[in-house]
Amino acid sequence: MSKEFDVVVIGAGPGGYVAAIRAAQLGLNAACIEYNSYADPKGEVRLGGTCLNVGCIPSKALLQSSELFEQANHSFVMHGISVDSPRMDVGVMMKRKNNIVDQLTSGIRGLFKKNKVTLLSGLGSFAGREDEKWKIAVTRNGETEHVMAKHVIVATGSRARHLPDIPVDNEVICDNEGALAFDGAPKRLGVIGAGVIGLELGSVWKRLGAEVTILEAAPDFLSAADAAITKEAWKTFTAKQKLGIKLGVKIGKVERTADGVRVEYELKDEQKVLECDRLIVSVGRIPNTDGLNADAVGLKVSDRGFIEVDEQCRTNLANVWAVGDVVPGPMLAHKGMEEGVMVAECIAGQKGHVNHDTVPWVIYTHPEIAWVGKTEAQLKAAGIEFKAGQIPFAANGRALGQGDTTGFVRMYACAETDRILGVHVIGNNASELIAEAVVAMEFGACSEDIARICHAHPTLSEVMHEAALACDKRPLHF
Ligand code: FAD
Ligand code: NAI
């Protein structure tokens, strides 16, 4: 007799493990299938998906270490602190990163135990439908077990997109997995793609001494962000931080050489060559739908490989749901987690929902970039009349005290109703500051609401307050 569950989740990334825990909290008998050991030394299956193992968490650990190194080299001196030539031990930095990853992935095992979620180790796939239940195959080391599920949540996530004729070996030519495990700072680092991974990981290795060249196909830079932010970011990354970003590039032949990689590319009709010790390929991610046996059961997958879902993440099949990177929308851990909670609540008969209009974006460069809601270009394209308030951190006492005054907060509010339509931050701690804007927008706040809220002094959040005042042309400190 096969084991039977109310809910079987395929994939234990942020979308999947959160869905399984929430389902169990709601009294459902839940299981979660995961096959990936992410190079675990004991070969054990690891929970947490891309995010915990080879994404958000390890990259943020390296960004923090490298930022401290950067400060020791360049910023301590303004506080009167002198340190004789700081040195970075990349091995120690990597060990710290690995420890954080280990702690969090094993923490999810603990959460599964606490919430009585059954972990099924193996590759999950659809094996048919019997008596209105889904038969799911779990295959590991050539052996297959079948389980039955009233509901299935597909949360199989995504993997790095590779380019034809650029063989990723994750030693010299790397995607995110190899790029998070370098054994030392390369002297010359090449990056293909100036997106989020290219900028974050390019920043890590630049701070640790690499000469970084980023080759971007698009003619513009960070096109999803607000134009004012992009302009400031471009200035800071290229002129101040000397990241060598080249736009409008066409990548040609890429080959391994005796001492690294040779990348041929075309820029403004000129043929160029980049010689580097290591190359990161970060040109987007593709959803993981192969291996699910989707065709056999008729699960609808788009031409681009995403599972098609409605606004509550229902697929075309009865009681089959899909969440996270494997469905359309931004590929962000918190978006996947919210969808996981929504689906578990819908299965339990509640009214789960996700407001996709208030999903924040954060890029953890220095300065950080964060936004929620619409950009100026989107508002103009939609013909919405708006007012804008922009305040720099340069006028803020806390920012001055911290010695970091780059950037600004820019807020857009509806010209007629004053409702906040978008908030864009570039600056130190933008990742934390954006939360206030998300809460405000979720509650349908006006810029006047933020203007009337008491913000602690001296804090960076006062810049958010001033930006709201500036929407009404009455900032107090600028
Ligand atoms: P995943 O995390 O990809 O998890 C899916 C899991 O399903 C995987 O463990 C996979 O092994 C498993 N799986 C796949 N197929 C099967 C199968 N058939 N059977 C069993 N298991 C299967 N997002 C942020 O919000 N903030 C960040 O700072 C951030 N930084 C990032 C940095 C990097 C370098 C990268 C690569 C990504 C980053 N992301 C970040 C994106 C984030 O990691 C993803 O959006 C998130 O992990 C998606 O969650 P998910 O659960 O949909 O999929
Ligand atoms: P991305 O979509 O952010 O950027 C990819 C870049 O590569 C784009 O600028 C694109 O124009 C460029 N590109 C595509 N093909 C190219 C080619 N042939 N030659 C040169 N350039 C090319 O993708 P990235 O950086 O790989 O990250 C994947 C996803 O992971 C992100 O979209 C995001 O969803 C998630 N992520 C989120 C982070 C965060 O929230 N802080 C951090 C890192 C990743």
**DSSP letter string over 461-475?**
HHHHHHHHHHHTT--
Q: Is residue 167 part of a domain?
A: no
- For residue 395, the model assigns a pLDDT of 87
Domain range spanning residue 440? 359-470
Final residue in a domain of this structure, among 333, 354, 375: 354
Tell me which of 33, 37, 51 to substitute to probe ligand 1's pocket, judged by most ligand atoms within 8 Å of the beta carbon.
Answer: 51
Final residue in a domain of this structure, among 354, 387, 405: 354
Both 71 and 124 in one domain: the answer is yes
- The CB-side HSE value for 290 (13 A sphere, CA atoms) comes to 4
**What CATH number does residue 395 fall under?**
3.30.390.30
Contact 21, 115 (CB under 8 A): yes
Q: Is residue 477 part of a domain?
A: no
Nearest listed ligand to the Cα of residue 166? 2
Name the strand (E) or helix (H) holding 380: helix 376-381
- For residue 302, the model assigns a pLDDT of 96
Residues labelled as active-site residues: 457
Both 91 and 142 in one domain: the answer is yes
In the chain, how many domains are there?
Answer: 3
- For residue 388, the model assigns a pLDDT of 98
Instruction: Tell how far the Cα of 193 is from the centroid of ligand 2, in angstroms.
Output: 6
Q: CA geometry: angle at 456 spanning 452 and 459, to 5°? A: 115
Chain length of the chain: 478
- For residue 456, the model assigns a pLDDT of 98
Report how far residue 215's alpha carbon sits from residue 226's, in angstroms, rounded to the nearest whole number. 21
CB atoms within 10 A of CB 80: 6
Measured from the Cα of 250, ligand 2's closest atom is: 19
Check pocket membership of 163 for ligand 2, CB cut-off 6 A: yes
Both 310 and 413 in one domain: the answer is no
- For residue 346, the model assigns a pLDDT of 98
Measured from the Cα of 330, ligand 2's closest atom is: 34
Q: Is residue 241 part of a domain?
A: yes
Q: Is residue 398 part of a domain?
A: yes
DSSP string, 137-175: EEEETTEEEEEEEEEEEE---EEE---TT----SSSEE-
Both 23 and 142 in one domain: the answer is yes
Amino acid at position 362, single letter: V
Instruction: Tell how far the Cα of 283 is from the centroid of ligand 2, in angstroms.
Output: 5
Structure tokens at 404: 């970091």
* Ligand 1, atom 11, residue with closest C-alpha: 36
CB atoms within 10 A of CB 23: 30
Nearest listed ligand to the Cα of residue 154? 1
Nearest listed ligand to the Cα of residue 369? 2
**What CATH number does residue 123 fall under?**
3.50.50.60
Contact 57, 146 (CB under 8 A): no
Q: What is the pTM of this model?
A: 0.97
Report how far residue 17's alpha carbon sits from residue 35's, in angstroms, rounded to the nearest whole number. 13
Both 292 and 379 in one domain: the answer is no
Q: Is residue 384 part of a domain?
A: yes
Both 152 and 191 in one domain: the answer is no
Instruction: Tell how far the Cα of 12 is from the centroid of ligand 1, in angstroms.
Output: 9
Question: What are 67-97's pLDDT values in tens digits?
Answer: 999 999 999 999 999 999 999 999 999 999 9
- For residue 95, the model assigns a pLDDT of 98
Contact 45, 34 (CB under 8 A): yes
Report how far residue 453's alpha carbon sits from residue 171's, in angstroms, rounded to the nearest whole number. 51
Check pocket membership of 324 for ligand 1, CB cut-off 6 A: yes
Amino acid at position 116, single letter: K
Both 366 and 325 in one domain: the answer is no
Structure tokens at 196: 């989020």
- For residue 330, the model assigns a pLDDT of 97
Final residue in a domain of this structure, among 254, 283, 312: 283
188-192 β-sheet, strand order: 173-174, 278-281, 188-192, 211-215, 244-246
Q: Is residue 203 part of a domain?
A: yes
- For residue 475, the model assigns a pLDDT of 97
Q: Which residues of the chain have pLDDT under 70?
A: none
Instruction: Tell how far the Cα of 466 is from the centroid of ligand 2, in angstroms.
Output: 33
Both 322 and 418 in one domain: the answer is no
Q: Is residue 168 part of a domain?
A: no
- For residue 348, the model assigns a pLDDT of 98
* Ligand 2, atom 23, residue with closest C-alpha: 284
